[in-house]
Chain A
Amino acid sequence: MTTTVTKTINPAGGGGGYDYSSWNAWIADCPADLRAGSGTDQIWLGIGSGAISSAANILTVSGILQDATHYVHASAADLGVVTALRFDSANGHTISCTGSYVNIILNSSSFTRFSNLQIEGTDTSVFGARPPILDNVGAAGVLLIDKCILETEKTPCVDIYGSSQEINNSLCVVRGADRLVIANLKNGAQATNTAFVVPSDKTPATTAFFGSYATAILKNCPIFGVVALSTGTAPTYTTCFNDLGSPPSGVTQVTYDTSLFNNITNATRDFRIPIGSALRDAGTTDVPNAGTDIVGKTRASGTFDVGPWEYPDDVTVDVVGARIVASGGLFLWPTIGAFGERDIVLLPPVSSSIISMEVPVPSLPVPVTIIAMGTPEADNSIIDLYPPGTVPLVDVAVSLTGLSVTVGQGAFAFDIAQALTGMSVTATGGVLVPSTAVTLTGMSATATGGVLVPSTAVTLVGQAATASQGVMVPALALAFTGQAATATGGVLVPATAVALLGQAATVSKGDLTVELAIPMVGQVATTGQGVFSFSGNVDQALTGMAATVSGGLLVPEVSGVLVGQSASATGGTMVPSLVVPLVGMSALTTGGVLVPNLSTSLVGMVATTGQGVFVFGVVGALVGQSISVAQGALSPALAIPLVGRSITITRGAFSFAGDMIVNVTGVFATGLVGPVVTLGAAREYDLWVNTTVLDLVVVVSPQEAFAILASTDSTVVTLSDEAYVSGAVPDLVA
């Protein structure tokens, strides 16, 4: 009985626990006769892993007696293609040979097989470059190359000879300059579902194939980036594709662009096919040679795709109450609200993910069509429906209890007409749009990397909404109690028309926009990076509200009394607009812009800017106000006297204008330069503080503008309530 002797090959050798450090060591240890009877009755299988790079010959298979069922087979676990179909050391096992005049793989023994190998020859010399796999068996020899990626700079990707030598489900790319031929298919050699291409941004090859003696046979092969199809003996073609005019029989002309393959430029080449490719379902079924594609997927039950990559079939199933679990695809459910036929469409994902969705099931069996679309990650979709046809029926038109909906990437939308209890909705990387018209209890909605748009028309109790990355737009028309809304890296836009009690809104990165029409009690709004704004519709008292901006824009707009409000901008811009008295308000800008706009009295207000700009306008009395600028600019506009005010500037600019008489005392590092310090008619005073240690008193008349520009790091300017002391100003002029 034939046994398969499997050995592992990896350049890490014994350090990685492998059997051989190199392919040549593996083949040199192969029995001389693998056949039954005369030999060991074995298949000598090598499984390579890791990335092998060498300037010397990688593998020479010669002197071994084989037959159709006892053979040498150099392979790897699989190509591991997860991102793009091309030679890529990030995927599977790769062999890269930099040598010139070196046979990367030389086969001189009939019946040898190669599969799942990525082989690259980087030699660019005209005569020195050799094909990744050079067969030297001769016309009577048998050779199979299957599911391989063969790339070269100049020389043909493969050189096979004889009607029993085949290359199937493989990708051959020549990507250097001045190349002549993509493949030598001689004396009846065969190629099935193998792509022969030159990237679109490279000079086309002179010809795709060189043939001699018997006619080579090509089936389901895309051939692009060439000036001519063949030289020498012309092959016969069956359902092949090419972009040249007047194609021969069996070749269909089609434009070489990204509608055909995912990417055709050299640096980012990806020769998988997209959903709408002309190569899809355009081939000829050939199960013996191409039953599985280059990554091992079973090809479509109907007509095969052209080329190494098979796009998956549409799958149509009848769901009579089921839970659907799919990986690698995306869901769009556009007609969930209506009973009858429903479509679930797997959309192009950004990366592989797992989608788990429990489907609410109507009272009658509903046919569901699941269609795999888009980029080939969806090809790995696994769709399980269970338990088949036996799940208790649930009517979508009534209550859903314990429903869980998760969207990894893509879009998920549903309409719900009645009560939802305990529903959990999550969008990891797409769009989630639940629409609910009635009471939601205990619902939680999360959008990690996409768009979440729950629309609720009635009372929400205990609802939590979170957008980690992306956009979340819950619209709420009625009372919220205990609601928490968080946007970590996206946009959160809850719109609320009624009372909010204990609501907390947080934006770490992104935008948070809330609209409030009635009183807010105990509300806390925080934005880490991004924009937080609430506007317009707050015309009543806000009590205990706190607003914080760490790194973005905070724009609260309040038109009624604020009591105990605090606003903080750490690294962005905060623009609270207040038209009524503020009591006990504190505003802090650590590293951004803070622009409170105050039109009435401020009592006990504290304004601080750490880094950035702090601007506020005050038209009424300020009593006991303290202003500090650490770095940046602070520009309060004051229309009335200031009493007991203190201003400190560490670095930056401080300016204000208004009716005031102030006493300025400053301690400056060194000299004082007063380029524009003018008393009198101009009513404009600028102190240019440079390096002088100064104890300065300035008398400012009403309506005069006054600005201090601190140009050193250590400048400290203190305005005290000794506002009527005079006498120092002339010295400044001097």
Chain B
Amino acid sequence: MEILIPVVASGAAVDCWKPGDLIDYHPDGHSWTVRERTNPNWRIIQVDVLQTTLDALADQPVPQLGVTKRVREWGLNLSLLPDPSLFIGARTQEIISLTRKQCTDAIVKKP
């Protein structure tokens, strides 16, 4: 599976997209668009995770009217990944490969 995540926040708001949030995912070999492959604020990760993991990463908090704290309930803590430098600054490779354990070890529930 290939997943798309931001490595920087899309804005300053509390409920903007945050680093490690799951934006999108597709099976291996998906034809990502130019913008998805080149946006310096995004990364594409190839990782063999289970669907339940993806479901968790796509999960959202139950909305409370007028109060949205975050886009995703869970996310990847990029500092917990084996080579955090891959997720800082400009992209150095189009797709980053991780093992399932490397990925799941970095998944955290947001406060």
Does B associate with A? yes
* Residues in chain A within 8 A of chain B (CB atoms): 12-16, 18-22, 24-25, 28-33, 55-57, 60, 62-65, 102-103, 106, 108, 134, 136-139, 141, 161
Contact indicator B24/A32 (Cβ below 8 Å) = no
Contact indicator A25/B13 (Cβ below 8 Å) = no
Contact indicator A103/B63 (Cβ below 8 Å) = yes
Known contacts A64-B11, A108-B63; A28/B17 CB under 8 A? yes
Contact indicator B31/A62 (Cβ below 8 Å) = no
Complex CA distance for A14 and B34, rounded to whole angstroms:
6
Choose among A15, A63, A134, A139 the residue that contacts B13 (Cβ–Cβ < 8 A): A63
A-B complex: 9 closest residue pairs judged by Cβ atoms? A32-B11, A63-B16, A138-B66, A15-B31, A63-B13, A108-B68, A56-B58, A62-B15, A14-B33
Chain A residues contacting B21 (CB-CB under 8 Å) are 28
B35 at the interface (CB under 8 A from A): yes
Known contacts A19-B35, A21-B24, A103-B60; A63/B14 CB under 8 A? yes
Contact indicator B33/A62 (Cβ below 8 Å) = no
* B39-96 contacts to A (CB < 8 Å): 39, 42, 54-55, 58, 60, 63-68, 71
Chain A residues contacting B60 (CB-CB under 8 Å) are 57, 60, 102-103, 106
Known contacts A19-B35, A63-B14, A136-B65; A57/B6 CB under 8 A? no
Chain B residues contacting A62 (CB-CB under 8 Å) are 13, 15-16, 68, 71
Chain B residues contacting A33 (CB-CB under 8 Å) are 11
With A57-B60, A139-B66 known, 9 other A-B pairs at CB within 8 A are A15-B31, A24-B24, A25-B35, A28-B10, A32-B10, A32-B16, A57-B58, A62-B13, A65-B13
Contact indicator B15/A108 (Cβ below 8 Å) = yes
Choose among A12, A14, A102 the residue that contacts B36 (Cβ–Cβ < 8 A): A14
Chain B residues contacting A16 (CB-CB under 8 Å) are 31
B100 at the interface (CB under 8 A from A): no
Complex CA distance for A106 and B14, rounded to whole angstroms:
16
Chain A residues contacting B32 (CB-CB under 8 Å) are 13-14, 21
Complex CA distance for A62 and B34, rounded to whole angstroms:
24
Interface size counted on chain B using CB atoms at 8 A: 35
Contact indicator A20/B13 (Cβ below 8 Å) = no
Contact indicator B33/A29 (Cβ below 8 Å) = no
Known contacts A56-B55, A62-B16; A20/B33 CB under 8 A? yes
Complex CA distance for A671 and B65, rounded to whole angstroms:
93
B106 at the interface (CB under 8 A from A): no
B103 at the interface (CB under 8 A from A): no
Choose among B17, B24, B33 the residue that contacts A63 (Cβ–Cβ < 8 A): B17
Chain B residues contacting A108 (CB-CB under 8 Å) are 15, 63, 68
Complex CA distance for A16 and B39, rounded to whole angstroms:
18
In the complex, the chain A residue whose C-beta lies closest to that of B62 is A101
Complex CA distance for A14 and B15, rounded to whole angstroms:
28
Complex CA distance for A136 and B37, rounded to whole angstroms:
31
Chain B residues contacting A65 (CB-CB under 8 Å) are 11, 13
Chain B residues contacting A31 (CB-CB under 8 Å) are 11
Chain A residues contacting B63 (CB-CB under 8 Å) are 103, 106, 108, 134, 136
Most interface-central of B11, B33, B65 (chain A CB within 10 A): B33
Complex CA distance for A19 and B23, rounded to whole angstroms:
15
Complex CA distance for A30 and B66, rounded to whole angstroms:
21
Most interface-central of A13, A31, A138 (chain B CB within 10 A): A13
Contact indicator B30/A21 (Cβ below 8 Å) = yes
Contact indicator B10/A63 (Cβ below 8 Å) = yes
Complex CA distance for A13 and B35, rounded to whole angstroms:
10
Least Cβ–Cβ distance between A16 and chain B, in angstroms: 8
B4 at the interface (CB under 8 A from A): yes
Least Cβ–Cβ distance between B67 and chain A, in angstroms: 8
Chain B residues contacting A63 (CB-CB under 8 Å) are 10-11, 13-17, 71
In the complex, the chain B residue whose C-beta lies closest to that of A11 is B26
Complex CA distance for A103 and B30, rounded to whole angstroms:
24
Least Cβ–Cβ distance between A107 and chain B, in angstroms: 9
Complex CA distance for A102 and B32, rounded to whole angstroms:
24
In the complex, the chain B residue whose C-beta lies closest to that of A136 is B63
8 contacts between A and B (CB under 8 A): A13-B33, A21-B24, A22-B23, A29-B10, A62-B15, A108-B63, A136-B66, A136-B68
Known contacts A29-B39, A62-B13; A21/B6 CB under 8 A? no
Least Cβ–Cβ distance between B79 and chain A, in angstroms: 21
In the complex, the chain A residue whose C-beta lies closest to that of B5 is A28
Complex CA distance for A56 and B26, rounded to whole angstroms:
12
Complex CA distance for A55 and B16, rounded to whole angstroms:
22
Chain A residues contacting B26 (CB-CB under 8 Å) are 13, 21
Least Cβ–Cβ distance between B33 and chain A, in angstroms: 4
Choose among A12, A22, A28, A136 the residue that contacts B6 (Cβ–Cβ < 8 A): A28
Chain A residues contacting B68 (CB-CB under 8 Å) are 62, 106, 108, 136
Contact indicator A25/B4 (Cβ below 8 Å) = yes
Chain B residues contacting A19 (CB-CB under 8 Å) are 33-35
Known contacts A21-B36, A29-B39, A136-B63; A13/B31 CB under 8 A? yes
Contact indicator A25/B23 (Cβ below 8 Å) = yes
Complex CA distance for A63 and B15, rounded to whole angstroms:
5
Known contacts A13-B30, A62-B13, A63-B11; A138/B23 CB under 8 A? no
Contact indicator A14/B37 (Cβ below 8 Å) = yes
Complex CA distance for A316 and B60, rounded to whole angstroms:
56
Least Cβ–Cβ distance between A79 and chain B, in angstroms: 25
Chain A residues contacting B33 (CB-CB under 8 Å) are 13-14, 18-21, 25
Most interface-central of A29, A32, A62, A134 (chain B CB within 10 A): A62
Complex CA distance for A30 and B71, rounded to whole angstroms:
14
Complex CA distance for A55 and B34, rounded to whole angstroms:
25
Choose among B13, B55, B64, B65 the residue that contacts A32 (Cβ–Cβ < 8 A): B13
Complex CA distance for A512 and B17, rounded to whole angstroms:
72
Chain A residues contacting B55 (CB-CB under 8 Å) are 55-56
Chain A residues contacting B39 (CB-CB under 8 Å) are 29
In the complex, the chain A residue whose C-beta lies closest to that of B54 is A56
Complex CA distance for A13 and B39, rounded to whole angstroms:
15
Complex CA distance for A136 and B61, rounded to whole angstroms:
12
Most interface-central of A57, A60, A139 (chain B CB within 10 A): A60
Chain A residues contacting B54 (CB-CB under 8 Å) are 56
